[in-house]
Amino acid sequence: MKLETMKLPVLPPEPTGVLYTVSKHFGFEGGGWIAGGFARQVAHHLLVKMKTSEEWEKYLEPERRRDYHPGDVDVFLPKHITHVELEAGLLTLRDSYAQFAKNLQANSRDHGRMNIQFVTAPEFRYNGVQDCLAAFDLYNARYAITYEKPGEFVLHWDPRALVADRLNRVSIVQTLSPFLGSRVLKYIEHRDCGNGLMPDSNELLLEWLVRVATGAWPDNFDAKHIVGTKGQVMKLREAGYVKTNELAFFINRWKITGKSAYGFPGKEVDWACDQIDKATT
């Protein structure tokens, strides 16, 4: 994977506040970096279409989460850094849902609150930006920002990420994560990828569905990570990304309560069989 790079110019106050806060509290000087959604937003602002102040606020403000699904600022550190002292004044760290990271809300300089996700799990510590981005399951997420010296940062990106993003499509790289389904839906519904999947991603999504059906996940994922795949598959089906013939993978797997003719709760039915019936009658 060959990455493109550029030195960041002066940015609007909102992303500048994020970079200031992360530099101050997370010791970028030690070799850390931001990767994923926030870096993608910066790249889009510079290389695709400049974002308005309102668009930045929609992305960053956790108080508006239900309406706009804002993103976290994901901070990674290289393997050789084992501990980082966080400056006093931040709110209490809490485990992320998947327990791969510590989450906190911090005040950016003059621009309210943001969610910062500090990745702590050993299996998600990398030697550098290249290794980190290579582990992501969507090309669309392959963006990063590194610290050079006070006030100077560098943007890194996989050119294939920009190809997919300019087409407003999701491009899948690999299927090793049980969270892939939710990421695909998030990017389609909330990250400007409303044109759906890249053509070569359909086969990879099918591969992920097979993993869900067979439970073929890497060892670092356990039951609490896998339980959410049921809802992801159902939402993907509702959005039109699970074909009727692919429902056969899930026959006799999940039960749901149907509705009677009058709209009241009915009898328990097999979800996949119910979906097949509705599609073929």
Please tell me the predicted confidence (pLDDT) of residue 87: 47
- Among 126-140, 224-238, 261-275, the minimum mean pLDDT is found in 261-275
Among 258, 261, 262, which residue's Cα sits nearest to residue 273?
Answer: 258
Return the closest-CA partner of residue 118 out of 89, 75, 85, 70.
Answer: 75
Q: Could you tell me the maximum CA-CA distance found in the chain, to the nearest angstrom?
A: 67
pLDDT greater at residue 64 or residue 202: 202
Tell me the CB-side half-sphere exposure of residue 239, using CA atoms within 13 A: 19
Which two structure tokens, joined as six digits, stand for 272?
């996949």
Torsion of CA 102, 107, 112, 117, to 10 degrees: -20
Q: What is the pLDDT of residues 4-27, one digit of tens each?
A: 999 999 999 989 988 887 776 665
d(CA 77, CA 97): 20
Residue 68 has pLDDT above 50, yes or no: no
Q: Is the pLDDT of residue 63 over 60?
A: no
pLDDT digits (tens, 9 = 90+) for 135-167: 999 999 999 999 888 888 999 999 999 999 999
Which tokens is 23 given?
Answer: 């530099």
Whether the per-residue pLDDT at 89 is higher than 50: the answer is no
Strands 113-119 and 73-76: parallel
Which run of H or of E encompasses 131? helix 129-134
Residue with tokens 């996949």: 272
- Residue with structure tokens 């979906």? 275
Q: Cβ neighbours of residue 154 under 8 Å, at least 6 residues apart?
A: 5, 6, 7, 8, 145, 146, 148
Q: Percent of the chain having pLDDT more than 90?
A: 55
Give the mean pLDDT of 242-267: 85
Between the alpha carbon of residue 209 and those of residues 125, 203, 214, the distances in Å are 27, 10, 9
pLDDT tens digits for 220-251?
A: 888 888 999 999 999 999 999 999 999 999 99
Q: pTM of this prediction?
A: 0.87
Cβ pair 258, 266 in contact under 8 A: yes
Query: Please, are residues 124 and 157 in contact by the beta-carbon 8 Å criterion?
Result: no
Q: Which H helix or E strand runs over 26?
A: helix 13-26
pLDDT of residue 171: 98
Give the model's confidence band at 109: pLDDT under 50 very low, under 70 low, under 90 confident, else very high. very low
What pLDDT, on a 0 to 100 scale, did the predictor assign at position 141? 97
Angle, helix 180-190 to helix 229-238, in steps of 10 degrees = 40
